[in-house]
């Protein structure tokens, strides 16, 4: 038996005819960078999120970087976020010359605890970067309330929350600007790197559009200092196909997550899903103090379970200069010792989900 934690190839097999036709269309067009496929996808994805503007870029990290720069984050500016996230979140802040200010998480959701934000605000604070983790959405109403009171920008990191909603609005439609990744394993994944910035703010959209291509409004004439971060036509065409099926695939994830929760509740800590949030289960993350032994047991039984993320940013060698140490973010540190991401993707069989759950129950000595 071999059960992978994720399988992006399965999405290609499921929609091979449509995707192959989209690839052929691009190859025959002769236009491979910032053409009609990118323009169409930008409009379609923005409409899906419920915002006015989308700007395709080359990766999720670049999407965050350009979103922060568009919001004016620069040298010495502080951005409040979490340590329990992908390194890309922190790297994007540092690429702007900003300083990440890390606060602890809500242990029920693994996302930023709004009660920790206000006490972290200083005169140098420019923005809050809210990370929507594992397919769920952070408490945006409280975050926006704090941001309004303190006059801060809000950037959403939506790399793991394509299609997730909070109070009836999709992730990416709450803050001043939002960044998405289309890494192949995401709920909406390309077959290579890709990302997009979305916003309702015309000025921010225009600034991102300039930043992504050398500050050009006219070719070869730079109005501002920018960089090369362009979503290519091939990935845009593939994403246009896959976007049509995103809601269907998210429902498949939710159905599989329900099986896990029904079988494992009371044995391990299962993901929280309360109103007004609606989870899309980019990852199905359990918690147990016996995490390492359980992961080894599952591996021995052909089941791939991963850790997202094993070492908090503030404890990693590359980020010692931020000035944090062990014990500074206790809930984040506890989380990193206990979490485990089980196999989940739309095409995985329900019987495979049940088999994973049965193995976990066996590990804990629970009779099925």
- 10-residue averages of pLDDT along the chain (368 residues): 94 98 98 97 98 98 98 98 98 98 97 97 98 98 98 98 97 98 98 98 98 95 96 98 98 98 98 93 98 98 98 98 98 98 98 98 93
- 151 belongs to a structural domain: yes
Residues 42 and 133 in one domain: yes
What is the reported pLDDT for 367? Answer: 85
Number of folded domains that form the chain: 2
Q: Which of 192, 220, 243 is the last residue of a domain?
A: 243
Residues 272 and 342 in one domain: yes
First-to-last alpha carbon distance for the chain, in angstroms, is: 20
Instruction: Count other C-beta atoms under 10 Å from residue 10's C-beta.
Output: 14
Residues 204 and 344 in one domain: no
Nearest Cα to Cα of residue 178 among 92, 237, 119: 92
Q: Residue 301: which domain range?
A: 246-363
Q: How far is the C-alpha of 189 from the C-alpha of 170, rounded, in Å?
A: 18
- 212 belongs to a structural domain: yes
Q: What are phi and psi of 252, to 5 degrees?
A: -65, -40
Predicted TM-score (pTM) of this structure: 0.97
Residues 180 and 32 in one domain: yes
What is the reported pLDDT for 1? Answer: 67
Q: Does a cis peptide bond (omega within 30 degrees of 0) precede residue 328?
A: no
Residues 91 and 220 in one domain: yes
Residues 251 and 184 in one domain: no
Alpha helix positions (H), the chain: 8-14, 16-29, 36-49, 60-70, 87-95, 114-117, 140-150, 202-211, 233-243, 246-264, 291-300, 330-338, 350-363
- 368 belongs to a structural domain: no
Q: What is the CATH number for 337?
A: 3.90.1150.10
Residues 204 and 321 in one domain: no
Angle (CA) 10-11-14 rounded to 5° is 85
- 65 belongs to a structural domain: yes
193 to 53, 235, 348: CA distances (angstroms): 21, 8, 23
What is the reported pLDDT for 368? Answer: 76
Q: How far is the C-alpha of 113 from the C-alpha of 127, rounded, in Å?
A: 15
């Amino acid at each position: 038996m071999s059960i992978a934690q994720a399988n992006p190839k399965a999405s290609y097999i499921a929609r091979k005819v449509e995707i192959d036709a989209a690839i052929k269309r691009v190859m025959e067009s002769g236009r491979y960078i910032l053409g009609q496929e990118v323009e169409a996808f930008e409009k379609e994805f923005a409409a899906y999120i419920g915002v006015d503007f989308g700007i395709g870029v080359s990766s999720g990290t670049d999407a965050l970087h350009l979103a922060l720069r568009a919001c004016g984050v620069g040298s010495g500016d502080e951005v409040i976020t979490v340590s329990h996230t992908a390194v890309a979140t922190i790297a994007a802040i540092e690429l702007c010359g900003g300083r990440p200010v890390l606060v602890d998480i809500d242990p029920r959701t693994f996302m930023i605890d709004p009660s920790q934000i206000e006490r972290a605000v200083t005169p140098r604070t420019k923005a809050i970067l809210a990370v929507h983790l594992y397919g769920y959405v952070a408490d945006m109403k409280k975050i926006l309330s704090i941001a309004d009171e303190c006059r801060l920008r809000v950037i959403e990191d939506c790399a793991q929350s394509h299609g997730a909603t909070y109070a009836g609005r999709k992730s990416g439609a709450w803050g001043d600007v939002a960044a998405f990744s289309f890494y192949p394993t995401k709920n909406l994944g390309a077959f290579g790197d890709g990302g997009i910035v979305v916003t309702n703010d015309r000025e921010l959209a225009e600034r991102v559009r300039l930043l992504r291509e050398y500050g050009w409004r006219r070719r070869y004439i730079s109005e501002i200092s920018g960089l090369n971060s362009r979503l290519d036509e091939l990935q845009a065409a593939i994403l246009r196909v896959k976007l049509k099926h995103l809601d269907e695939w998210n429902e498949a994830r939710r159905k599989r997550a329900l099986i896990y929760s029904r079988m494992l509740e009371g044995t391990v800590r299962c993901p929280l899903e309360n109103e007004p949030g609606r989870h899309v289960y980019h990852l199905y993350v359990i918690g147990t103090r016996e995490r390492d032994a359980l992961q080894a047991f599952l591996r021995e039984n052909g089941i791939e379970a991963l850790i997202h993320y094993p070492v908090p940013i503030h404890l990693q060698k590359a980020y010692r200069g931020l000035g944090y140490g062990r014990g500074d973010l206790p809930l984040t540190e506890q989380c990193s010792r206990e979490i485990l991401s089980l196999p989940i993707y739309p095409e995985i069989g329900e019987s495979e989900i049940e088999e994973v759950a049965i193995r976990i129950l066996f590990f804990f000595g629970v009779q099925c």
